Structure 1
Amino acid sequence: MSAGSDQQSIRCMVAKVGLDGHDRGAHVIARAFRDAGFEVIYSGLHKGPEEIVQAAVQEDVDVLGISILSGAHDTLVPKIMDGLEEYGAKEDTLVLVGGVIPEEDRQPLRDDGVAAIFGPGTSIEETIEFVRENVPQR
């Protein structure tokens, strides 16, 4: 693996969408991403899909990690994907979803452009490695 000094910093946004107030996992992943050398922006709690899209576009992030445990992933995540598409940012943004996502709901999210879904028990190292291997080259 190459040294971090010769590669541009990976800009990530960790976002909490909707009324989900469980943010421990989002904080853990944000800290792990920072420790891995990524630039990290945390959205804060209770953001709407439009707010997340606008922040991701304004911050020109490479990676958008959506943390959702509320069960509303099947409506909120597609709204974020649609918003990224409207801004022309869908192709340039690696979108990840973290949370308790039932198996039957995963493929529709992938079909909508979500690159990966990480459930409980996923190792931090696996997530970081996935980002490094799949971040869009700009």
Structure 2
Amino acid sequence: MTAPTLTPKPAARLYPHTPGRNWRLDGNCLSTDVDMHPELRDQPGIAEAKAICAGCPVTDKCLTSAVKVGDWEGIRAGLTGPERRALAGTMADRACVDCGTTYTPRTKVQQRCSPCSHTHNHLRDRR
């Protein structure tokens, strides 16, 4: 399997989401040629698409949007349609313990929004 191709993003995408701006413009999936809708039996394709979502700054919004509109196709927020459907019944928005932002958790024990989780993990790994 070859590494996913990412096109460099404009500097504006490196900063936090600006209110009034479409959050989808900040997604990693907009700057890749990887198929984000692989067949469910295409495990290498699924892994490649999920790798694009890893570290994406808008995974929380992407997941919330996909669940709210019932989008069970393709890879969204690093999850397949069946994975999102299974998670949908357990999701309730909550406040991030670090910044207070409301987000949709990906697991029952998640306490931080994606940006705070990345920061927390990065700081923890540096110790």
Q: Relative to total residues, which structure has the larger strand share, 1 or 2? A: 1
Same-fold status (TM-score > 0.5) = no
Query: TM-score by structure 1 length?
Result: 0.27
Bigger Rg, which one: 2
Query: When the two structures are superposed, what TM-score results if normalisation uses the length of structure 2?
Result: 0.28
